[in-house]
Structure 1
Amino acid sequence: MLAMRRAASTPRRDPAPSRLRYRLTRVWLRPGVRRVVNFGLPLMAGVLASWTVMAQFDVRGQVTAWASQLHEKIVDRPQFTITAITVPGVSQDLAEQIRVAAFVSLPASSLELDVNGVRERIEALDAVQRARVRALPSGILEIQAVERVPVVVWRAPDGIELVDENGVRVAEVDSRMRRPDLPLVAGPGAGGHVPEALALLAVAEPVGARVRGLVRVGDRRWDLVLDRDQVVKLPETDPLAALRRVMALEASGEVLKRDVAVLDMRDPARPMLRLTDRAMAELERLKTLKTGEDA
């Protein structure tokens, strides 16, 4: 009876968890928290322990030194050593320019060589259109370059340049006579119209021995300059057709062999001639004689 009274007077313990324990349980059930506790904390502890050991016994320095020695042994192997540079298929002058632009000190290791950097430096040369660089197993650095071929001499406002068929500069020269075998174009903007200039020179082939060059006027049109200071002024639009007409007149009447200073074709419907001073003087003399006879 006494035991029953004691049990009745003792309060029962609540089986529900406390509020703090409930919240901690909810937090633990989150996947992110469990991953941090199960993997993050052990990983962090391992990193800290490794760092402490490396700092205490200088393991980091030993590993770095070992890796450096291994790198040097591999890089310095004879099979990876470049001892020569070859530039096949180009002129001797360009080959020397390419060797200088490559900026490779021999002997060099093919494992440490920046092939793309070498190629970019070579392609920066005016005379090189594109290049290919590769290290051969024989210890030779082979540089294959496509050389730009100059087709005209351009007397530009700031100098004399050799340009290719696309108007890209190949080289700069100090005199037009450096390449007397190439036709001459002059005037601002002429270098940007090389294909048209070549087409005009091809049409003027019947008088090619007399052609001195083409002059770009106002970056709009061309003047064909011949010997004896003759000038054929071509129109802005369709200069090829106008020059073909001039060549037809030359074939039929040899108009360019006469005392003509300027043949103006800027208006193809109304070609105009301007005689030389000598021809004008002779014409005035004949007029004077005729006037005297009539009197």
Structure 2
Amino acid sequence: MVHRPTEAPAVEAAHLERVFRTRYGTTTAVADLDLTVRSGEIVALLGPNGAGKTTTLRMLTTLLRPTGGKATVAGCDLLGEASAVRAKIGYVAQGGSTDRGLRVREELGQQCRFHGLDRAAAGARASELCELLELADVADRPIGALSGGQQRRVEVALGLAHQPQLIFLDEPTLGLDPPGRRDLREHVRRIRDERGTTVVFSTNLTEEADVLCDRVIVIDQGKKVAEGSPLELKRRIAGDVVTFHADDVDRAREAVLGRGRVREVAAAGEALRVTVDDGENAVGDLAKVLADAGIQFRAVDLHRPTLDDVFFEVTGRSMREG
């Protein structure tokens, strides 16, 4: 059964800020950040390296004290109830949180013991986590002998040892090959769908945020610059682009200007680029407009925007440049 998000917020932050002071001056890593995550959602903090994503996660998980703002995490005040926050959440850092010499079952069992389970309950929980993350076949192998994807799944399992209602994942697929990334994404989705766990993760991979998330919060230079579901962001901010290849693009441009769904029209060479709200339905309407105007075209292309396009639209540069 697929878990649906509820209206109760798992995370609610207002004007969150973190300033680092060094011998060379001050650096604002996160500035005036507002965000809300509803229970049962999968939400990505998307942005380039250095955007403030990890700093944000470290603040929300009590590992770094904000220098401004306030937040409620898992129903607890971030500053006044830090111990209660830690008891209700899981956190998986970018890597290196396992003992590579221990066997998988041992590592998970130890983590469960740290959370107060007796030996029998810890063993049972470790076995449950192995089943959930599909680690049962390697449960008795040393962690250091596992593939990168399997090691990352062990780290996620460690973050779930105490059955948190909310888990934070910092760059969860960092360093994995494409099959490993796809595999881990499926496990993250399964954790939410089967257990109802709220997931907040950081990433600089737009494809990852697109295919996995209910909502995306785009962060750049420590500030939120866009927010919405992947589909909403792509349609609202970037739009679809329909390109007609015609002989008389200037006349074609005049014919489609001001038509419904049309946001922007640009002509270059023999290509007429029309930015629209709903490309799939607009293609036929635009083709009819050109035909009625007696304008012939040889080919038509439809380009659906990506979250890379969204980032470019709201920041003026690509994710890689960021």
Same fold, judged at TM 0.5 (above)? no
TM-score, scaled relative to structure 2: 0.23
TM-score, scaled relative to structure 1: 0.24
Structure showing the higher helix proportion among its residues: 1
Structure showing the higher strand proportion among its residues: 2
Larger CA Rg, structure 1 vs 2: 1
* Higher RCO structure (Cα 8 Å, ≥6 apart): 2
